[in-house]
Structure 1
């Protein structure tokens, strides 16, 4: 009898454990990802080779179920992030993914600008249209547009910026209609949308179609550069992209035969910005055998520090993580692209 009861308890526990794998929670779990060599990802036509490696670092992230949530609670170097910290209010999974892909494209464009300017190589932009980041529920655009679409003309007019588009629309009144030409899944389409007044938020009282939008611009450089980033999202590889592009554009090899990893966003003027999950990226770089890791030396604004006194700079977080895992990898603070180049230029060749 006792054996039957024990068996039933174990069977029930196994069923509950299996079921927990399929019950999603409003959280995401992040883990150390990988360090990816950039030379196979970035290609400058006629670019110079490098003896070492420049590497971007990633974080693995997935929606939490009951099992992964409990495991992450007890494991070191696994983090639990509430869903509302990642996604905007009413933002769908599709819109979140589109936003991450846009951040990646913007990061690549910024990196190209920074590297080509530093190498004194020419580049320019070609305006392609208005990129739809998200679509507001219960607004007119939700009937025909999707996140990731590109608006090319409005009432037959082409614009040179999203500001021009907004100004054109706001001259009209609620109930007026506009005809859009847009690209969806690489196919050109047309549609008519009736304007509506916003009832809340920063746009309250204004009329519009109900989209979050940014400029869609193609960067054209000489020599051309291509970047294969289909499976990578977000802006955090900006610094390392810019270093790899610059290294291929210039004769002197920045790597000096070493393996160099890092992270950080990059702005068009070369400033390096804060990213999330840096301790996980330190682990990924160490596992790959990196000699050096660049970490953003960001400054926490006083108002944010006041409300979140526990926050530290990415550099401090990276140093702490490196100490905890006992790595010999050198953690180097950088505020700008120039800081990283200057540091590498001072290194002696690796023997």
Structure 2
């Protein structure tokens, strides 16, 4: 009898292993945490006030059979197709590199916005071209990696990614260029042939998507300990915390304030994903106020995503659904958020 059931037991075990370890073409998004910003943001000589500003996060992971099934029945766990999260041909590693780059850019934007508001000085030092993705079937595949920083081509340094692209396009397909990259702390030189981009007017390239990498130098110095947090959605809250440490006044004034939203160098607050999950996280952390982007939905986006609404509207709906007393505040800009905190005490 024991031998009779052994094959079925093995089949069940294999199915269980598959359910746990085989990823589906989906991500599961669920509420994360609300992180107090004082331990994360350090402005040299800055004020540490009594109020609490918090950034909010989501938890995002590739779905397997079990996590997919659980998310299907739980509130505020959302199943997202992989193509809505990662770009075409983007590996999971490249996605993580892109999220880290977006976080780094968000931090720099937050510093510039806060320093502009507080009238403090800062400068930028160009560091090179940051490799975000390497396209399959192109010459850079297997040679460069996402996260590499290109500092020279054919021994020539450059001051922007535009200069790098312009130089590459003076060459002909089939010619080789010598690319100098920094990979972590190691300098590497690679010879890479050029190839035509079929969707780029037949212009030559090596097959990477790229961005400028700059180092911001500020007085006073700002350090952000946010290695475990990816993406740009903490920009607004970073800028408010940095500003709060730069000035004598406590903009939170004893309150627990959470929020989310990207920030651009001009202080505009942008749309983010997972707003409902972040409202849930903020409520669990005891936040009294939640700052939500009141983004404008373009006609093109409405056509692509019928039923889409601004982050603020979704946040209000979620707050009502979970029965929280937390006040949801719409913001378009850093200035609006700051004015609200300074005048509504």
Matched, 1:247 2:244: yes
TM-score normalised over the length of structure 1: 0.94
Q: Is the 8 A contact 1:256 1:347 kept in 2?
A: no
Q: Which residue of 2 aligns with 1:276?
A: 273
Q: 5 Å matches for 1:46-65?
A: 46-65=45-64
Task: Output one character per residue of 1:63-102: Cα deviation in whole Å (capped at 9) or x when no partner.
Answer: 1111111111111110000011111111111111110000
Q: 5 Å matches for 1:82-231?
A: 82-199=81-198, 201=199, 203-231=200-228
Q: 1:158 to 1:326 in 2, by over 3 A?
A: same
Q: Which residue of 2 aligns with 1:24?
A: 23
Task: Output one character per residue of 1:30-84: Cα deviation in whole Å (capped at 9) or x when no partner.
Answer: 1100000001000000001111110000001111111111111111110000011
Q: 1:9, CA displacement in angstroms?
A: 8.5
Q: 1:14 to 1:135 in 2, by over 3 A?
A: closer
Q: Which residue of 2 aligns with 1:295?
A: 292
Q: For the residues of structure 1 that align with 2:299 and 2:59, how far apart are their CA atoms? A: 31
Q: Which residue of 1 aligns with 2:232?
A: 235
Three-state SS of the structure 2 residue aligned to 1:142 is: coil
Q: 1:276, CA displacement in angstroms?
A: 0.5
Q: Which moved more, 1:335-344 or 1:306-315?
A: 306-315
Q: 1:111, CA displacement in angstroms?
A: 0.4
TM-score normalised over the length of structure 2: 0.95
Task: Output one character per residue of 1:161-210: Cα deviation in whole Å (capped at 9) or x when no partner.
Answer: 000111111011112121121101210111111111112x3x24000111
Q: Is the 8 A contact 1:42 1:225 kept in 2?
A: yes
Three-state SS of the structure 1 residue aligned to 2:141 is: helix
Runs of 5+ in structure 2 lacking a partner? none
Runs of 5+ in structure 1 lacking a partner? none
Q: Which moved more, 1:148-157 or 1:264-273?
A: 148-157
Task: Output one character per residue of 1:243-296: Cα deviation in whole Å (capped at 9) or x when no partner.
Answer: 000000011000010000000000000000000110000000000000100000
Q: 1:157, CA displacement in angstroms?
A: 1.1
Task: Output one character per residue of 1:311-337: Cα deviation in whole Å (capped at 9) or x when no partner.
Answer: 011000000000011000010000000
Three-state SS of the structure 2 residue aligned to 1:126 is: strand
Q: For the residues of structure 1 that align with 2:42 and 2:276, how far apart are their CA atoms? A: 29
Q: Which residue of 1 aligns with 2:334?
A: 337
Task: Output one character per residue of 1:210-243: Cα deviation in whole Å (capped at 9) or x when no partner.
Answer: 1111111000000000001111100000000000
Task: Output one character per residue of 1:132-164: Cα deviation in whole Å (capped at 9) or x when no partner.
Answer: 111111211124211100011111111110001
Three-state SS of the structure 1 residue aligned to 2:21 is: coil
Q: Which residue of 2 aligns with 1:260?
A: 257
Q: 1:12, CA displacement in angstroms?
A: 6.9
